[in-house]
């Protein structure tokens, strides 16, 4: 009996880091990329909580290198100088205020933790950092942490350049420098403890979990070692003994020796194959058809659903790098993108993360966007512009705010309504017209073919009149968009023309008249 109890206790401990710790029936995360803490706090209160968003992934909050030539790139935030909470998004007091205000309305905060490395070897020396802390990258001297030459992997990397030269060598990938970034010696207890101390300060403030940046470039056991030092979540908002949610950035598209599965013991992993494959299918490239999505998920070689965090695009691959590939759909391809995000949010696989971006001036040379470095909308002094909200609820100041697009917001609500319901009532025409339900709570249908659709299909829903939540929604017991009539036997007629603004329809029981 004692052994059984120990096994059950271990299983309970194990399970913690896979759970996003969201309020019940709030299932999706949004990445408010490069937003200021003040704007996130307001967005939690005025929009995210009322529309059922579960949590926010925020940009790295720690002190980073300031790069001013020609302008400040977004990636400077991935060049740590210290673990002080002060960045373009705001200072420590503003960060604490955001975490409190978001938690108070049931929206969780997940921090992008950059702990594999410090700034690049060419970062120079001085005080050009977001808090003004002194550092000397050449000497591996970061007194604001403090880290010194003892705390880096320089002696452990066996390439001539000190850089990763082959992704087929797991030792290089994990012990050498990624893009010249100074690689921390995570096998040293001092480094592990220092990282855990930083993460624990954030947990104590009320943070609910972490995205572990560049996890593929760390040994799984080293990550485990600092995760084992983490506190339980703050009992002001979470029940006693709750573990932080962990999802690790492991780019595994197949074809390399490092696998996402090596990291399952630590938490979930980012399933990069998801967006790459879904983009290929929805673009109808390589002979792919939506009909092939019937066994979407593990049937496509993805990691198990209970170990996956999924997304159509992220801040890296929407710019064509970090497991980019031309198939990735983004806000620049709005019509196809909304279909892909709609499919993701309707389908039960994984924990879903929605992207919220900013625009940049795209300019292509030899097929590459040479402006992929451009940072967030900024004032002349380099400070980040606030996110302004237009009268039609879209965003201004060059913030895209895909999470505020009606189709995406309403599908976030759809996912909450159907949470826990099985994948059901699949239908396809053998081509690019497909449909599926989620038990007796919701149903979605797509026409990605080049001809009009007019079909009767089984929805599995109770009889009645439903509002399509893509073309509109239910307001004051009427539909602002299309209506769908479900008969007593669960059948319904769907007509979607190829010129429809959005070639898909979604209905659920909370949108029934």
Q: How far apart are the first and last CA of the chain?
A: 53
Tell me, rounded to whole angstroms, the distance of Cα 174 from its chain centroid.
Answer: 23
Q: Which two tokens stand for residue 286?
A: 């390589």
Q: Are 244 and 253 in contact (CB under 8 A)?
A: no
The DSSP-derived string for 255-282 is SSS--GGGGTTTSEEE-HHHHHHHHHHH
- Picking from 382, 370, 377, the residue whose alpha carbon sits closest to that of residue 401 is 377
- Cβ contacts of 370 within 8 Å, gap of 6 or more: 363, 364
Strand ranges of the sheet holding 62-64, from the earlier edge strand across to the other edge: 62-64, 80-87, 90-91
Q: How would you label 79-108 residue by residue, b for 16+ Cβ within 10 Å and e otherwise?
A: bbbbbbbbbbbbbeebbbbbbbbbbeebbb
The DSSP-derived string for 61-79 is -EEEB---SSS-BGGGGGS
Catalytic entry in 249, 271, 372, 402: 249
Angle CA(408)–CA(213)–CA(353) in degrees, nearest 5?
A: 15
- Picking from 463, 467, 510, the residue whose alpha carbon sits closest to that of residue 490 is 463
Catalytic entry in 34, 213, 369, 402: 213
Q: What does the alpha-carbon distance between residue 369 and residue 313 come to, in Å, rounded to a whole number?
A: 16
Residues in the chain: 513
Tokens 């509002």 sit on residue? 467
Tokens 């949590």 sit on residue? 55
Cα maximum dimension of the chain: 75
Is 213 considered catalytic here? yes
Angle CA(475)–CA(479)–CA(485) in degrees, nearest 5?
A: 135
C-alpha pair distances (Å), 325 with each of 27, 314, 360: 28, 12, 19
- Picking from 16, 219, 32, the residue whose alpha carbon sits closest to that of residue 115 is 219
Is 249 considered catalytic here? yes
Active site residues: 213, 249
């Amino acid at each position: 009996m004692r052994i059984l109890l120990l096994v059950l206790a271990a299983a309970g401990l194990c399970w913690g880091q896979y759970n996003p710790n969201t309020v019940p029936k709030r299932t999706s995360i949004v990445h408010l990329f490069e937003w200021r803490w003040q704007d996130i706090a307001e967005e939690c209160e005025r929009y995210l909580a009322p529309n059922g968003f579960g949590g926010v992934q925020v940009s790295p909050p720690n002190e980073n290198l300031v790069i001013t030539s020609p302008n400040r790139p977004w990636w400077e935030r991935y060049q740590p100088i210290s673990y002080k909470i002060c960045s373009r998004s705001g200072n420590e007091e503003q960060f604490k205020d955001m975490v409190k205000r978001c938690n108070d309305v049931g929206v969780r905060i997940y921090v992008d933790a950059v702990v594999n490395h410090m700034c690049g070897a060419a970062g120079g020396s001085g005080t050009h950092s977001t808090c003004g802390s002194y550092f000397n990258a050449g000497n591996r001297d970061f007194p604001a942490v403090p880290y010194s030459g003892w705390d880096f992997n320089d002696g452990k990397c066996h390439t001539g350049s000190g850089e990763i030269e082959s992704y087929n060598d797991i030792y290089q990938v994990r012990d050498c420098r990624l893009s010249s970034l100074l690689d921390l010696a995570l096998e040293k207890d001092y480094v592990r403890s220092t990282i855990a101390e930083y993460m624990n300060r954030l947990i104590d403030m009320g943070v609910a979990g972490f995205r572990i940046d560049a996890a593929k470039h760390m040994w799984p056991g080293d990550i485990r070692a600092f995760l084992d030092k983490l506190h339980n979540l703050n009992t002001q908002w979470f029940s006693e003994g709750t573990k932080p949610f962990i999802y690790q950035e492991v780019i595994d598209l197949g074809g390399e020796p490092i696998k996402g599965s090596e990291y399952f013991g630590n938490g979930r992993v980012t399933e990069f194959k998801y967006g790459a494959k879904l983009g290929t299918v929805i673009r109808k490239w390589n002979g792919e058809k939506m009909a092939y999505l019937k066994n979407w998920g593990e049937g496509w070689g993805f990691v198990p659903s209970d170990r996956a965090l999924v997304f159509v695009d992220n801040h890296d691959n929407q710019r064509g790098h970090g497991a980019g590939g031309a198939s990735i759909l983004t806000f620049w391809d709005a019509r196809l993108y909304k279909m892909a995000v709609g499919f993701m949010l309707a389908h039960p696989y994984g924990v879903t993360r929605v992207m919220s971006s900013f625009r940049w001036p795209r300019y292509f040379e030899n097929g590459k966007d040479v402006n992929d470095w451009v940072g967030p909308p900024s004032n002349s002094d380099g400070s980040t512009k606030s996110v302004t909200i237009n009268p039609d609820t879209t965003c201004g100041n060059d913030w895209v705010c895909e999470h505020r697009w009606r189709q995406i917001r309403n599908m976030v609500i759809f996912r909450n309504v159907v949470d826990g319901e099985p994948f059901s009532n699949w239908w396809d025409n053998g081509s690019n017209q497909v449909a599926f339900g989620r038990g007796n709570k919701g149903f979605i249908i797509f026409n990605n073919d080049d001809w009009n659709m007019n079909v009767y299909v089984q929805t599995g829903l109770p009889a009645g009149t439903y509002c399509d939540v893509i073309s509109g929604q239910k307001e004051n017991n009427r539909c602002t968009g299309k209506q769908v009539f479900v008969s007593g036997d669960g059948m319904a007629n769907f007509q979607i023309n190829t010129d429809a603004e959005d070639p898909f329809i979604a209905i659920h029981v909370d949108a029934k008249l």
